[in-house]
Amino acid sequence: MKGIHYALSKPAGERPGIIVFLDGDYSDHPGEMRSLVRPIIEDGFDMIIGSRTMGARERGALLPQALFGNALATTLIKWLYGVRFTDLGPFRAIRFDKLLGLGMSDMTYGWTVEMQIKAAKQGLRCGEAPVSYRKRIGVSKVTGTLGGTVKAGYKILWTIFKNIG
């Protein structure tokens, strides 16, 4: 899981205006990147989350434990931080300078929720766009095992509560 930290520590040449994150396991559709980037360019958003819960999902792509965890986490974020999200999915776009200003530190399961909470706390203009989601290739190390599900759930909840204040 070096994605976000690699992107922040190894920028090639010029820094991008916008950076997009997506899973490389076939579950996200790179062709839908425009729906994440367009609101940033045209409407002044700082970050757009690709919402798998608002978009079309292949049957079995988002497992019950992921749906439950997502609903719980986004409800807690709304109650504790006053910002409504429908998903913690990794397919997202953010202005690069805003990303650097978030001071991201999580290197595992909590990076998506950390980004969303810190963006909310800093008053970034955040939105969501529906994205399609399909079954991944291979077995998920998060929702594909009981241990992964428990670790991810704990880390996400810990991240939500540690950032209060």
Binned at pLDDT 50, 70 and 90, residue 82 comes out as very high
User: What's the number of CA atoms in the CB half-sphere (13 Å) around residue 123?
Assistant: 0
pLDDT digits (tens, 9 = 90+) for 120-151: 999 999 999 999 998 877 666 666 677 878 88
Residue 25 CA to residue 32 CA, distance in Å, equals 15
pLDDT at 162 over 90: yes
Tokens of 45: 């958003």
Task: Please count the residues of the chain.
Answer: 165
Q: Please list the residues that pair with 127 across neighbouring strands.
A: 48
CB burial of residue 14 (10 Å; 0-12, 13-18, 19+): exposed
Residue 85 CA to residue 48 CA, distance in Å, equals 10
Residue 75 CA to residue 27 CA, distance in Å, equals 24
Residue 151: its H or E element:
helix 146-162
Q: What is the mean pLDDT of residues 66-74?
A: 94
Number of compact structural domains in the chain = 1
Domain CATH for 145 = 3.90.550.10
Residues of the domain holding 105: 3-162
Phi, psi of 131 (to 5 degrees): -130, 150
